Every structure is written in C-alpha cells, then in structure tokens.
Chain A
C-alpha cells in the first residue's frame, strides 16, 4: 500500500560560517528517504539561504514510511574539494500516518551535528498522501496511535483494554563494528543515530501489527528502551498496553455548559466522520493473541544465576482479630479462595496479564495486592543473528513468568504499573521487572462467580476498595497483619501498602504526601564473567531487603502507611552496586495508622548507653510528630468497638518476602521470635540499624512551601496555577577509592539530598509549589563515578483553597448530572460493541469454567451466549468510565465523533505562529500526562528522539558541565521545535530515558547519548475555553467548514 511523501525545503537561518574567506556559506540541502535522494540548488553566499525548493516526492511503501525517518542534510558547496556537511535533521513522519494526529510538519527545525551541536535552523514542509482509503488503511499497522502516557489519554475514552504488547529488535552496534576504526567519529555517530531511528520505527511497526491483531487501535503507556550492550550488540525493546480508544468530544464547552449549546448544533457534530475507522464497531472479529515470541523459548545460559523477590508488606504477628472478625470477612474468605482458583486457571491460559498503565479509569482497579518484582543477572554474549533475538526474548520471558507467579501468590490475576529495565556493566546485565499485583474489574462479565464479584464490588466505596486484600486471608502465602478497613469496616486491609501505580484519584487520603527515597551502595569485588554474575546475584537480595527496610522506616518516620509509584533501580558497576528506591508516601485513610519506631539496645546495663538510646528515641518521636504536622496527617480517632477486635496497633519488623515457596517456612518461625514486641524495633547494636537510623535522621525536610512526589498528582493539592517548569538536572560524583559500605552509603545519600536541596533553591521563585514526577536515575558510568539524573516538573499552586472548593462543589453538581447522562450512553455503546462484534468475552478471573450455578444472580443483561465461547483468559477488559471526576475534562455524548473543532483550532494556532514573525512559539514540556489549568484537545503523535553528541575539545566547551549543559539544552530545543512543527504547543509524559555520559578528560574528549520521549499535544487554556465557549457554540460550524476547506 504505497503512499507519497512530499517534502519542501523553504529556507535556512543562522547557518554557521563555512567559508572563512568570505565569512559566508554556500548552502544546499539533500533530502533523503530510503534510497532516494533529492538536492536543492546551491544558495550562494548567505547565512540565511532561501531555497524555496519544489516539492520533492517520494513514492514509498507504508512499511518504509513507518520504519524510515526523513533525513535532511545541509551542506556547504565547495567547488574544489568535497562538500562539507553542516548538519542533519531527522524527521519522524509517523505522526503524519495517523489520521487523528498531525497533518503536516512545518516549521523551523534545528540543524544538528553530532560534533558541533545545533548549527542554525532549516524551515521545511512535509506532507504524506496515502493513496488508499481509510478503511484499507486500517489494515496496516500505521493507523495505530502510540502514547507514552501511562493512563488513558485525556481526550480519549477506553472502549477496551486488550492487554500487554511487547517486542524487541537487536542489531550490531555500529560503534563496535570493524569499520568504526577507519571512519570519523561523526560518521560513526550518525550511523548509530540512524540505526536507532530505524530500529525504533521497526519496533513501533511490529508492535502496531500486534495491536491490530488484538483488535485494538492504540498503544498506551508505550515504553521503549535501548540496551547498549557494547560488543554484544544493541537491543531496542518496547512494552505497552494495547487498547481500543475512542475520541470523546474534544470541546468541553458542550459538556460543562450543556445549556449553552443548542441541540441542533450538537446534532451536527457527529457528522464529521474522521474518527470512524478508530471505532471498533466496524471492526471484524479480532484474531486471538497468540504467544508468538515465546514459541522459541530456550532455557537461559546455565551460568546465569537468577534472583528475584517480591516486595510485599508483611507482618509476623499472629492475627488476633480472626475469630471475632465480622461476617463480611467470613463470607469473603471462601469466595476469594474460589476467585483465586479461577484466577490461577485463567493465568495459565493467559501469557501476560500485564498493564503498563499507572492510572485507571474509575472502577477498573478493584484491589491491589502489592509490589511484585523480579530480577535476573545475565552474561551477555554476541548476538549472532539479529533476525532471531531468541536469547533476549527468553530472558524476558523468564522474568515475566516470575512476575506472573508472584502476582498469583498474592491472589491477583493481573499486574498493573508494569515496567522493565536493565543495567549493564561490561558483560554483566541485570534485567529487572516490577509492577503491582492487582485484581481488575470484570463487571461486564456475566458468569456466576462474576456476579458475586459484581455485588462484592458494588458494596465497596471507591475510596477504599482498592486497599482491600485480594488474597485469601486464611491461606495467605506470607504473613501479613490484617485489620478491618478504616473506611468501610467491612473488608480486611493490610497495614502497609506498596504499589508502583499512581494514587487512584478516588482514594481517600489523609493529609499530603511526600517523596520517600531509600538509597544504598554496596561494594563488590572486581570479578570477571561468571564469577562476577554470581557475586552480583548473591548481593542483590540483601540490597533489596535493605532498601525495603529503609523505605519502611522512612515511611513510618513520616507517619504514613502507603507507597505509590515505587520504582527500585539497581545499577551495577565494576566495584559496587547502587540501589535507589523512590516512591510517594501517603496516609491512606483506609489503612491503620502506622506504629512508631522503637529503638532497643541489646545491652541495657550501661546508663549512658540507655541515655543515648532514649535521646535517639526522643529525636525519632519528635520527627514523627513534626512530620505529621507538616503533612497534615491527623486521621480521625478510631473507635475500636466498631471494628470488633482490638487493632494490633503498630506493626512488627518487616521482612522481605523472597519467594512464596520459602515464605511458608518463615511464617511460623518468625512469628515466634518477634511476636511479643509491639512497635517497629530497631536494635541499635546492629550495624545495619545504626545505618538505618542515620539514614532516617539525615533526610532533611523539604523547605517551607515545597512539596515533592514522584507520582502524577499530589494528594491534598488541587488548585494548580498554570505556572509549570520542567527541568533536568544531572550530577556526576567522583568517589575516593577504598570506601566502606557505610561511607559509600552516606556519600550516595548526601548526593541525592544535595541534589534535591539544589532543586528547591533553584525553584524558590515558584513557591508554593510541588515537584511532581521526580524521577531519579542512577548509573555508574565508570569505576568510582556515580551519576544521578533527575527529570521532574515544578508546579505552582494557589494557597487559597476555600474559594476553589466552593467553585468545585458547584462544578460537581453540574458534572454529576452529566455523568448520569454519560453513563447511560456509554453503556449502550458498549452493549452495541459487544453484540455486533462478537468479541470473545472473557473474565479476568477466567470464570467461565467455574460455578455456572451462581449465574442465577446474573444481572438483567445476559451475555452468557457469547461468554461461553471464551476459552482463553481476558483479551479485553471492559472499561466503563462511569464517573466523571475531573471537572471539565471529560465530556458527554458518546455517540458523536471527534468534533472538527480541534482541527480548526490547530490551524489557527499555526497561523498565529507564523504571523508572529520572528518570535518562537512557546512549547511546554512536562513529565505528567496533563497540563494544569488547560485542556489537551489533540494528541499529535509520539516524540521519540535519540541524539549523540561528541566533542574533542572538552575544555573549550566549558568542561564536562558546559558540554552536557549545552547538549541537554539542545535536546530540549529540538524536542520543542519538532513539536511546534507538528502544530503542537506542549509535550506531555515527557521522559529522558537514557543519558549515557562518557568522558576522557586526558584526551579532552567526551561523548553523550540521550534518548527522550513524550506525546506531542495541543492544549487550550481552560480560561480561554470558558471565555470563548459561548461564541464558539455559534462558531463551531463555521470553523469546521473553514477547516475542511483547507
């Protein structure tokens, strides 16, 4: 299915001087796609050439369109010698292939050279004409939309969530090919950049094919990573969640002010059928997903050892409240056992019930079990055949299987907030995967057990339901201390909850949250090959255990009881291992109040020693009190009678849950040893404990006016202003040789703390503000070097809450009315979708096989006819956005197709931009999925860029800091320029996934690789929307007509 790619080179500006004699440049441009190259004329003697070329046309297959970037090279013409390259621009044309994304790329793009950085800008126009009609177009993978955002994108509604998609491609790294010895650094860098561009395109296309096969039209939470394995090759891998998305009316005015819109106009909107191909109604029966990648599974190398663990909260106290537990608990027990059984059988049928999403439509996430993670140490060997990346696939398969079994052990059938990462040092590679075991909603399923579950979940209030344990309390695979939920008093909850997801918006939270980090450094002997791998695998469990203990201590020190967005990063170097765990601590109202931390000495004979302990104890208690005040944690007093059993106040020493086979032994053993103590005890004789206490007390509090979290939103703060500041900060620290573990720990911890302090200082003008999505990445680029990179966004908020509250409540009532309306419509739509397409419906619990006798309780809608057919585990999870929570973000009328307005709006934005002459359009960047005070009206496509920068004049460029500072600024500039060229004004879900920095100061050289990604969007300020809402009602038709015309 061919398409025609058209490119026009308009002009250049700020070009560098290439001819010393004249101080000018004779520039021309080569435009290359695939194997076809076009050239412009030479524009002599100018630094601001006006080529104004013809349209260069490339007739190509859409497969190539997806894989290849458009490559634009600017050169200086030289009559006597070879032409000198000024720089290149790679343009990803993928956004142009999707009917809902951008339509044209037009604007000033920086000309980039890997040695000199940005060298002027070039103005280009790029368009794609696809010859096929839209329906045929859908059969190819290029209609699939990609989103980095790990929640359902703001202007879409999930019709179905199909599940996990993954793919990896491998190749030789050009940097390590023999030819690299004879080519210039520039040629080598460009070969690498181009290869990675190609591999990303290929990966995206392959994933797209899988999505189409599953019947979806989009990938959400798309996470693409590079493994630079050095000699052994280059791996590009990606995971994501396949969904069927449907665009919701992008004009919120119709939703928030339904009275303003006359019905006749509303009727008109659905007439524009742009979205039609995206709606699953018209799709044929999707082919069931097969586990393609894993048919070639082969056991991993015998010398690689594997270590894994899952972090869950556990307690060793015998459960005292068991006997007197209310009837609900008793009833839930056997039911859950049943569900779990069913889950198990379902799991066997399902390859990976994983979801890369971290935020969910309301009602989707039922219960959260806890964090599951797995790690594996592997020895890298050369990838012999790039076309069959079996080994790497097998490695990941192993890990995923393990994650799956951990989730199963927690009584969960799914893993959400799932992510994968690697750390490579020489030939050793640590593969890590983590996620949150969870039970997801199956409310549209109709079998018996499902029905009970339906009832089960309906009773539960959304604010606490996800905290209720998914596992069977009579048969817990690990010791946990359970109490009745402090919100509904009906179901059991654990005392502490760790998760990798964002805080659900509906969660009941007391007070505010804060960033909690556990940092750890462990020395390791230098070793080679197998010995090294063994040494690392034996260190890993200890590292994880200590990180976990640190997290737990710090959580308690802040008087909180749950962690969200937990991300544990383990980095390997030649002589040490680094562990950094970051999460956002909160106090979940549903969970019991955490106990204090008690310090105990082993030899209580000495009086001075006792005093020392008591001062420490006092310090800790003071800190806890102070923190409670700081984070406004004052949970309502618990009336114990209601609960029916004395709540075992504080919890006992936490232990790491290693793997569920071991844990059963530990239960009894540890219960005996620690059963009697009633607070979290730190024994001070223990060197670890000294370290722990030290680590606890050295964390300095955030300065006044600042809050921090690593999740999307901060509980307790709603009224964001529009002021946002995204930033990246990188630090590299050189260590002295011969440090002890403790010394290392302190240095590492100080490094992180100081970095945070610097951030607070830098951003002091934004107070009161919250640093959101604080994402730390650690690396050991060399022996004795620690690199920490942070990307986050600072967002200001208004302190005056009461005013806002009043406004919100007003809005809420309005929204409520809409919601009801919406719900009905949606339900209808989904019904239609199911009946017409005959998708194999299956329950997340695999309930079709079990308990048909319970179907008596089935709701009035009868799905059983097709439900019977489903033999495999969920391919689709029904999503029903049944509540609207976020003000004007969501809208009604599910029948209408995309309003044509954004189209018109984007055009007007663009035209504004060109009218404004010289000034550059502002592009906002944020790691979050939203922009405060604004509404995203259109997603223009994914931004995924990879750059290499190298210098052999490091000192002249201001040393390593000057070099990296310039490079990061250049990367930002290029991202902004490409977004602006797509017609966008912001990047959301931005992340810097890779920042590999290498230096050789003796040779005056340095090299850096950066990979960034995000979603290009158009947003409109809510204030603008409100002010124009009335006018636009009448202008809508007009605008759209104008839009169609062009």
Chain B
C-alpha cells in the first residue's frame, strides 16, 4: 500500500519560504521534513508527518521545475507556466542567488572552471555547506560570469538588469566576477582573516577607480571595461617608482609626513623608523601591477608589505588613517614629483582598501 502519485497545483503557485530555503540549502526531502518537524509547524497546523512529507515533496518538485527559469530570471517574469506574484518572484530570485560568505571565500579569485567545480566536495566538507548548495552557488557565479563577460557597459548595472538582483547582491556578484576575472589570490593563510565583504569592498574600489570604465575615457563602450584594469594606468604606475628610487625625494617625503604627524600619534617613533620600508612596499606594489601575476598577489602584498608591519607596531586604525592621509597629500608638495593624477588615483584606492582590511 503506497501513495503512487501525489501532486498539488495551485493557480497561483504556492511556495513556502521556509521549504525553499531548505531546498536551497541542499537538504534532502527527508532531512527537510525533519527540520520542519523540529520547527514545530506540525503543532501549529495540526498536521501529521505524512502531510508534511507530501507537502515537502510537492514543493521540492515545484522548485525543481522553477530552477530552469531561475537560471534566466528575466524569463520568470514573462513565462506562462507558473503564476507567481511579482514580490514572490523577487524573493525566489534573490534567495536563489544568495550565497554563503564562507563558501564564497573558498572560491573567490579562483578560476570558475570545471576543475574548481570538482573540488567542491572538499569545500563542502570544510564549510559544512551541502555539496548541492555549493554546486548551486558555484553555478550561479559561473553563470553570471559568463553572461556579463559578453556584455558591454557597467558591470553592476549589467548584473542587476540581467539577473534582476537587488543592488547589494548585484555589487557582490560584480566583486565575484571581478575577482574571478583577475584571479586575485585570496586563499593564502595570511588573508584568511579577511571576510568576503572586505574583498567585495575592495573590489568595488578597484572597479570604480582603476578600470577603464571608471574614468569614463571610453565613449565607445569597450568590452569588459569594468572587468579589466586600465592598462594605461598600470603602465603609468611605474613612474611612481621615483618616490623610492630618488633618495632626495624619499627623504623629503619622509620629513613632510613626520612633521605633520609629530605629536599626533602614539606610534610616531615606530612610524618614523619604518617610513622608508612602508613607502617602498606601497610604491613597489604599484610599479609591479603591470604584470598580471603581480596583480593576483595584490592583496597578499598589501598585507605582507604594509598591514603586517603596522600591526606588529600596534598602529590603531586612526593612526593608519592619519598616516595614509598625510602620506598621500605630502607627495603632492614634493617639488620634483610630477605624477599627481596617477598618485591620487592609486592612493585613493590603496587607502580605502587598507583601512578596510586593517582589522583583526
């Protein structure tokens, strides 16, 4: 004796948010039923486990049928098969494209390839996120990447329009795409303390300031204008080397910064002692960015060359802010330093990234 077939179809498609989340989290039907029973929905509605199982199966089936549409969210709005109110549609899309921070940290900056996908079971074991959910999240990244890869125009806007995502989520996806495209290294042990949101913030800074699209140079909407760094700018960054190669300039810069900061910070002595090292670190990073390989190491370099020395000297974020502000501004006062525009563009991003990244 068994139920051979059991379906429920509403004219307006009924979707339970809770079950949807369980489905997204990759729970099997039976596990989902267990979770629901523990959640107490049974007592609430005088239902039996059998009823719950039937409902869960039904919902799972509905979600599976919808999944195809969710891959192209724009289709969800003008498909005819399911009658779903607009607010529900938005919920479905938003949750489908939502991801776990712990998962994204594992794949951020990696190539979104089949190889990476094969390693997802390791990621799943490490993060405790079900493999099914990992795959969905990975496929989402890949899908968004593939679509915007072929599109012209601003990255965030493209993502928002194509996948109908809310602004914040679209920005996060832009960061993921940006990281995947430039293959930034984020997995090193020294970078483990950084959250996805830290990286996403930095990605936003880079996209807004260092890419072709950022300066609005291009009227002809070049391809990937938001995804790739502005090559010309990277070339120009080499000129900044003068700040450390010219000894006079370096000394002058140091004295200007020190004069400005004297008495304003508790770590003045450490700072004064370290100035040349720190300045060399930042300028060297700038000079190397023309090489794709060094671009990948951008974050690890920032941490190793700048953040770690400061941290060991116990700088506070206020110290950091003060130092970077004066460090940036003083360069403009230097007589022989001519590369003001490049310097501003470079330091603006570096400063906000470091400030964001400077925490425990």
Contact = CB atoms under 8 A, between A and B. Distances in A.
Interface of A: 13-14, 108, 110, 118, 121, 703-704, 725-736, 747, 754, 757-764, 785, 787, 918-920, 922-925, 958, 960-962, 964-966, 968-970, 972-974, 976-977, 997
B5 A961 contact: yes
B350 interface: no
A732 B9 contact: no
B307 to A, nearest CB: 48
B197 interface: no
9 contacts: A703-B46, A725-B12, A730-B7, A734-B3, A758-B8, A760-B46, A961-B5, A968-B7, A973-B81
A14 B32 CA distance: 33
Contact of A757 (B14, B47, B77): B47
B360 interface: no
A726 B11 contact: yes
Nearest to A977: B80
A726 B10 contact: yes
Interface string B13-50: 11000000000000000000000000000001111101
Given A732-B5, A732-B6, A976-B80, 8 more contacts: A14-B79, A757-B47, A757-B48, A758-B54, A762-B8, A922-B85, A925-B11, A961-B61
Which interface residue of A733, A735, A961 has the most chain B CB atoms within 10 A? Answer: A961
Given A733-B2, A973-B80, A965 B48 contact: no
Interface in B198-248: none
Contacts of A760: 45-47
B78 interface: yes
Contact of B11 (A110, A725, A731): A725
A471 B30 CA distance: 60
Contacts of B51: 754, 757-758, 761
Nearest to B14: A762
A924 B81 contact: no
A732 B12 CA distance: 23
Given A110-B80, A958-B61, A976-B80, A727 B9 contact: yes
Chain A facing B: main interface SS: mixed
B83 interface: yes
A787 B62 CA distance: 21
B2 to A, nearest CB: 5
Contacts of B48: 757
A743 to B, nearest CB: 10
Contact of A728 (B3, B5, B9): B9
Contacts of A735: 1
A216 B78 CA distance: 42
A998 to B, nearest CB: 12
B5 A997 contact: yes
Contacts of A730: 5-7
Contacts of A733: 1-4
B67 to A, nearest CB: 12
B98 to A, nearest CB: 22
A923 B2 CA distance: 36
A128 to B, nearest CB: 25
B82 interface: yes
B5 A118 contact: no
B157 interface: no
Nearest to B8: A729
Contacts of B52: 761
A760 B65 CA distance: 24
B86 interface: yes
A734 B4 contact: yes
B64 interface: yes
B95 interface: no
Interface in B66-111: 74-75, 77-83, 85-86
B9 A924 contact: no
A90 B77 CA distance: 25
A969 B66 CA distance: 12
A731 B80 contact: no
Interface of B: 1-14, 44-48, 50-52, 54-55, 57-58, 61-62, 64-65, 74-75, 77-83, 85-86
Contact of A762 (B11, B55, B75): B55
B338 to A, nearest CB: 53
Nearest to B86: A919
A972 B9 contact: yes
Nearest to A735: B1
B80 A764 contact: no
Contact of A965 (B9, B11, B45, B79): B9
Nearest to A751: B3
A118 B81 contact: yes
A325 to B, nearest CB: 48
B80 A732 contact: no
Contacts of A121: 80
Contact of A731 (B5, B79, B81, B83): B5
Contacts of A974: 80
B10 A731 contact: no
Given A919-B78, A923-B83, A976-B80, A734 B1 contact: yes
A25 B303 CA distance: 53
A329 to B, nearest CB: 48
A734 B2 contact: yes
B29 to A, nearest CB: 12
B65 A969 contact: yes
A418 B352 CA distance: 80
Nearest to B13: A969
Given A918-B74, A918-B77, A920-B78, A966 B65 contact: yes
- Sorted nearest first, the 10 A-B pairs with minimum C-beta distance are A732-B5, A918-B78, A727-B10, A726-B11, A968-B9, A965-B7, A729-B8, A925-B11, A732-B4, A703-B46
Contact of B7 (A729, A785, A925): A729
Contacts of A962: 61, 64-65
B23 to A, nearest CB: 14
Nearest to B45: A764
B61 A729 contact: no
Nearest to A964: B7
A794 to B, nearest CB: 9
A780 to B, nearest CB: 13
A960 B5 contact: yes
A399 to B, nearest CB: 33
Contacts of A732: 3-6
A987 B9 CA distance: 16
Nearest to A962: B61
Contacts of B86: 919
A379 to B, nearest CB: 30
A966 B65 CA distance: 8
A761 B47 contact: yes
Contacts of B62: 965
B153 to A, nearest CB: 20
Contacts of A704: 46
A321 B322 CA distance: 106
Contact of B80 (A118, A734, A964): A118
B79 A920 contact: yes
Contacts of B6: 730-732, 961
A229 to B, nearest CB: 25
A74 to B, nearest CB: 15
Given A726-B11, A728-B9, A960 B80 contact: no
Contacts of A759: 8
B46 A754 contact: no
A699 to B, nearest CB: 14
Nearest to A117: B81
A969 to B, nearest CB: 5
Contact of A108 (B4, B5, B80): B80
Contacts of A958: 61, 64
A560 to B, nearest CB: 23
Nearest to B62: A965
Nearest to B48: A757
Given A923-B83, A976-B80, A964 B65 contact: no
Contacts of B44: 764
Nearest to B42: A761
A40 B144 CA distance: 36
